[in-house]
Amino acid sequence: MLESYILKKRQQKDILLMTHIVMGYPDFEASYKIVKQMVEAGVDLMELQIPFSEPMADGPVILHANQKAIEGGSTVLKCFEFAQKVAKDFSIPFLFMSYANILYKYGMEQFADKMAAINLKGAIVPDLPPEEGKNYITAMEKNRLAPIYIFSPETSENRMSYLSTHGAGFIYCLARKGVTGKATSFSNELTTYLERCRQATTLPLAVGFGVKDKADVDFLKGKADIAVIGSQTIRVVEAKGPDAAGDFIRSLF
């Protein structure tokens, strides 16, 4: 499903682009405008983050967006309504990103059923490793949704294969240690690590954390299938407003 979409798209493009928004930041109207701009500018996939009060893996930019979204009244229910609308209005695949507690409180099965019902394709839940996510994996599989797992530079080969067995869609490779939105050096070290990732899985590879401009995206061509732009789009929207999102995306090609 998600994987075959990625493989098909890759026949037309050197690298695909995935972007990230926090739903309800700065508000839902702006969120919709950002999605529209990005899809029209040629983004291939999008992560829709359901905000959480304790986003442990996120750095200052996305952390701030999470807090503001919650303060502004971004509830799980409103996020579902928003996701349903964008998935209906735009033809690219949309994924949820959130933290384990949001799914746990909603109920793992109910959450996956809901995702399928509103036509979402997969989810990234950074604090739910397979060891703790048995119900989640089962529920996602039942609905033919992709549980997306993460490789880090610290992940051993053994664990990479283990994660690959439980994952679907693609693997999200962290370009470096740390949290989202900090600088990354695009170096030989990163190339070697991505070769290691490629060896460990047949799933497509997405690379995120610190990817911010055309040079970074170009660097990843031939080494990965998807470049993930997270914090940088939020920074651009904060500085120039939602209407700047499209031009920013076009500057990456």
Partner 1 sequence: MKKRGYYGNFGGAFLPEILIATFDELEAQFEKIKQDPKFWDTYVQLMSSYSCRPTPLTFARNLTNYFGGAKIYIKREDLNHTGAHKLNNVMGQGLLVQKMGKQRVIAETGAGQHGVACATMAAKFGFDCTIYMGEIDVIRQRPNVFWMEQLGATVIPVTNGTRILKDAINEAFRDWVSNMDTTHYVLGTACGPHPFPEMVTYFQSIIGQEARKQILEIEGKLPKRVYACVGGGSNAMGLFSGFLNDPVELVGVEAGGKGLASGLHASRLSSDDASPGVAQGYKTYFLQDDDGQMKETHSISAGLDYVGVSPILADMHDKGLARFESATDEKVIAALKLTMQKEGIIPALESSHAFAQAFEEAPQLSKDEIIIINQSGRGDKDIFTVADALDDPKWKKFIKTKAEEYHA
CB of 5 to partner 1, least distance (A): 24
Q: Does 22 bind partner 1 (CB under 8 A)?
A: no
Q: Which is nearer to partner 1, 73 or 241 (CB)?
A: 73
CB of 184 to partner 1, least distance (A): 12
Query: Which residue in 3, 14, 47, 213 is the catalytic one?
Result: 47
Q: Which of 11, 91, 131, 202 binds partner 1 (CB under 8 A)?
A: 131
Residue from 37, 155, 184, 232 touching partner 1 (CB under 8 A): that is 155
Can you spell out the DSSP letters for the chain? -HHHHHHHHHTT-SSEEEEEEETTSS-HHHHHHHHHHHHHHT--EEEEEPP-S--TT--HHHHHHHHHHHHTT--HHHHHHHHHHHHHH--S-EEEE--HHHHHHH-HHHHHHHHHHTT--EEE-TT--GGG-HHHHHHHHHTT-EEEEEE-TT--HHHHHHHHHH--S-EEEESSSS-TTS----SHHHHHHHHHHHHH-SS-EEEESS--SHHHHHHHBTTBSEEEE-HHHHHHHHHH-GGGHHHHHHTT-
Q: Is 81 a catalytic residue?
A: no
**Choice between 119 and 156, CB closer to partner 1:** 156
Q: Is 127 a catalytic residue?
A: no
Binding residues vs partner 1 (CB under 8 A): 52-57, 59, 63-64, 67, 70, 75-76, 99-102, 104-106, 126-132, 134, 149-152, 154-156, 159, 163, 174, 177-179, 182
Q: Active-site positions? A: 47, 58
